[in-house]
A and B are shown apart, each in its own frame.
Chain A
């Protein structure tokens, strides 16, 4: 549908950020960052690095640079995120979600949402790195995974990833994660999380 409208899979904003990416980390060696985060794996097709400079008195991000290995939506969402956070207080930046980035880009095709989720993870990793370096380990919010399906060892993070990857119902969730395929005791909790993440990322009830 979108292709027919503007002959591009993506919105004009995505296209602009993809063709003219902002804030690329050009000289990695000489850039003196206050925090650095690297997430993803090139084997999965995405790997992102974000570095930030921080005004230590005001706790505000003064610069954000990045490098990313990934598709057009990965490049565009990292670029858009870097623009969003410059001048933003650390606390606020910490809570940016993929949905915020997607909104900034005017939307992404649903099957490309998972390409955009690494940016905010890399940013949080960079902010955590800043807190660690500056003696504020108590501010680091650990994102520890919680095991939901004991039989198949599936965590809430994996459920979130499956939702971002397109799972919309319990069956699709099972197809992707294999959760609940042994004893089935986790079904209610898994469905609860499924609905939560659907709402978080896609605004669906």
Chain B
């Protein structure tokens, strides 16, 4: 029972990270209708920036804030420079540009900061809270940060003019343009926000997996899976999906005999595909209705 509880909590904790990534994925998906395959590498790059700032002597939270701002600007710039010129190109061409961005960021990070594994500090106290050995303070903090982000996003999209404009630009660009919304800038804004969320996810996961250019590979995969399970047009669903994937992965790895350890990833993915078979638009997604 204690093992079960332990694995469950560990699953929820890693799920928090997947949830952050899933959230970032859904943000860009809302803005441009595509997966961003380079999302993980963007988050990794942001984390390196934070690490570099701390090496230069910045205190944690200052480096954290600066990184979020830099990532926001960087994300918006990437959209302006790389994706605006090909906005009307076929989807496959855009996916290839995502792949290109992925390999550029990965290679650059390795070139600038080399491939040695670096440790990254956690902002939360090292000793367990209340003598509770089941879950570390960092894990708890991570879950808290994820939920806080989700709440902020909800408020932004639900109650601010800018959030409304962004939703309008995504839902119906032509009509949005007619009422005076600058759709191009809304897309760039979506990229910026996704990049900033990714940066937070990166800085939260780095103390656990350590910092190196390939740290985000499997995390992005789980993040995508979470986003799809939850539904690509539902940020709340994406967060739920992220947690669900984290828990499933941990429990399957521990309790499915023989193949559990070797096939952790595979089992999680099979489950995801099964969910999709039952609900093709994700658990919380709305299915698009097609009319003839």
Are A and B subunits of one complex?
no
Q: Which residues of B contact A (CB under 8 A)?
A: none
**A residues apposed to B, CB below 8 Å:** none
